[in-house]
């Protein structure tokens, strides 16, 4: 599943390509995604201008000219493909965890503009579209989610008091979207390594210094991942066709059995399943 950095890269790319463009036509080939696409979806988008493309957590938000919104979540296998009108190009971009080749079988939605179209392709169909009629409902839609790591609300005080007296391990909390939005498995591993915190450590045992490190490194890791175009695991590309490079900076993720990269640490990277997710950590410097 794409995490916050990868979704942000797609947002930036889409914003460059479709900002201020009017939707000419919408084709829905399969309404049966994670949530059924509403019957009025095509009329809701048709003839609306895309003012800009925003993001919250792992959600893409198409801001429309009538002050309404179209929400898109890519789920596990959803990909967005950009196709220029005058080019018969089946090698398209923005592919997460899949081939960049456009497979017609799973093309569920097309949003067509004058000179290009974006195609939503999703073999597993865990992604979804939602229409949101105004800003109030958009804000309400995200009420169940915690702040993003970049939000000023995500500070040492918030983290410390949220985790206080909690029995669950810290790795599980970093994946808990009601605690902090947008962090997924890859980046949770990297954040905990830089913080020198063992992923199995109970949240209630973290002190204020630990909480401060989690805040600092959550921001640092995600900023760096965005700057390097996200993490290319099995061919993620942005709309310009460029692969992400953050995977070259992984300190622990998928490095089980290898030596720790921390200076003078003699530890070995171990792998353990936590909350049904593969977890990687140094057996020496993460306490």
Mind listing the pLDDT tens digit for each residue in 238-255? 545 455 456 678 999 999
d(CA 215, CA 156): 6
The residue annotated as part of the active site, out of 11, 17, 58, 213, is 58
Q: Return the sign of the alpha-carbon dihedral for residues 220, 210, 182, 235.
A: positive
Q: Taking the complete model, does pTM exceed 0.95, yes or no?
A: no
Listed residue (258, 277, 268) closest to 171, CA to CA: 277
Q: How far apart are the first and last CA of the chain?
A: 28
Domain 156-282 coded CATH 1.10.3720.10: no
The residue annotated as part of the active site, out of 3, 6, 8, 190, is 3
Q: Does the active-site annotation cover 125?
A: no
Mind listing the pLDDT tens digit for each residue in 265-285? 999 999 999 989 999 999 999
Question: 3 falls in which pLDDT band (50, 70, 90)?
Answer: confident
The enclosing H or E element of 50 equals strand 50-56
**Token pair for 74:** 């890519």
The residue annotated as part of the active site, out of 46, 243, 262, 277, is 277
**Half-sphere exposure for 109 (CA within 13 Å, toward CB):** 25
- Among 26-30, 64-68, 201-205, 228-232, which stretch is predicted with the lowest mean pLDDT? 228-232
Q: Judging by DSSP bridges, how do beta strands 50-56 and 25-28 pair with one another? A: unpaired
Q: Give the pLDDT confidence score for residue 275 in this predicted structure.
A: 87
Mind listing the pLDDT tens digit for each residue in 111-137? 999 999 999 989 899 999 999 999 999
Q: Give the pLDDT confidence score for residue 89 in this predicted structure.
A: 54
Question: 103 falls in which pLDDT band (50, 70, 90)?
Answer: low
Q: Are 163 and 176 in contact (CB under 8 A)?
A: no
Domain 4-139 coded CATH 3.20.190.10: yes
Instruction: Output DSSP code: residue 23.
Output: P
**CA separation (Å) from 155 to 169, 217, 218?**
19, 11, 11
Mind listing the pLDDT tens digit for each residue in 129-161? 999 999 999 999 999 999 999 999 999 999 999
Q: Give the pLDDT confidence score for residue 239 in this predicted structure.
A: 47
Question: 80 falls in which pLDDT band (50, 70, 90)?
Answer: confident
Q: Where in the chain is the domain with CATH 1.10.8.50?
A: 156-282
3-state class of 42 per DSSP? Answer: helix
To the nearest whole number, what is the mean pLDDT of the chain?
89
Q: Does the active-site annotation cover 199?
A: no
Residue identified by tokens 């622990």 is 252
d(CA 245, CA 22): 33
**CA separation (Å) from 52 to 11, 26, 29, 42, 233?**
9, 18, 25, 19, 28
**Token pair for 245:** 């490079």
The residue annotated as part of the active site, out of 2, 5, 149, 199, is 2
The enclosing H or E element of 269 equals strand 269-274
Residue identified by tokens 């830089």 is 194
Q: Give the pLDDT confidence score for residue 104 in this predicted structure.
A: 74
Q: What percentage of the chain exceeds 70 in pLDDT?
A: 87
Mind listing the pLDDT tens digit for each residue in 8-23? 988 988 999 999 999 9
Q: Give the pLDDT confidence score for residue 246 in this predicted structure.
A: 64
Q: How many CB atoms lie within 10 A of CB 176?
A: 15
Strand order in the sheet with 59-64: 50-56, 59-64, 69-73, 128-132
């Amino acid at each position: 599943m794409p995490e916050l950095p990868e979704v942000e890269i797609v947002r930036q790319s889409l914003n460059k390509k479709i900002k201020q463009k009017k939707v000419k036509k919408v084709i829905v080939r399969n309404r049966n995604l994670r949530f059924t696409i509403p019957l009025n979806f095509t009329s809701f988008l048709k003839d609306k201008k895309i003012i800009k493309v925003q993001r919250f957590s792992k959600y893409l938000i198409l801001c429309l000219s009538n002050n309404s919104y179209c929400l898109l979540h890519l789920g596990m296998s959803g990909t967005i493909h950009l196709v220029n009108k005058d080019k018969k190009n089946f090698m398209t971009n923005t592919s997460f965890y899949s081939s960049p080749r456009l497979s017609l079988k799973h093309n569920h939605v097309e949003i067509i503009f004058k000179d290009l179209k974006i195609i939503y392709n999703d073999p597993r169909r865990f992604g979804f579209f939602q229409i949101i009629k105004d800003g109030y409902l958009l804000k309400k839609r995200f009420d169940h989610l915690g702040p993003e790591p970049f939000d000023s609300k995500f500070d040492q005080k918030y983290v410390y008091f949220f985790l206080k007296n909690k029995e669950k391990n810290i790795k599980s909390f970093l994946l808990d979207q009601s605690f902090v939005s947008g962090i997924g498995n890859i980046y949770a591993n990297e954040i905990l390594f830089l913080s020198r915190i063992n992923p199995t450590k109970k949240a209630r045992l973290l002190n204020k210094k630990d909480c401060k490190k989690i805040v600092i490194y959550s921001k640092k890791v995600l900023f760096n991942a965005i700057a390097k175009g996200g993490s290319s695991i099995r061919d993620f590309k942005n709309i310009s066709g460029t692969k992400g490079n953050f995977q070259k900076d992984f300190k622990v993720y998928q490095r089980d059995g290898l030596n720790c990269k921390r200076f003078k640490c003699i530890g070995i990277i171990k792998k353990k399943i936590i909350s049904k997710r593969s977890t990687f950590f140094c057996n020496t410097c993460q306490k």
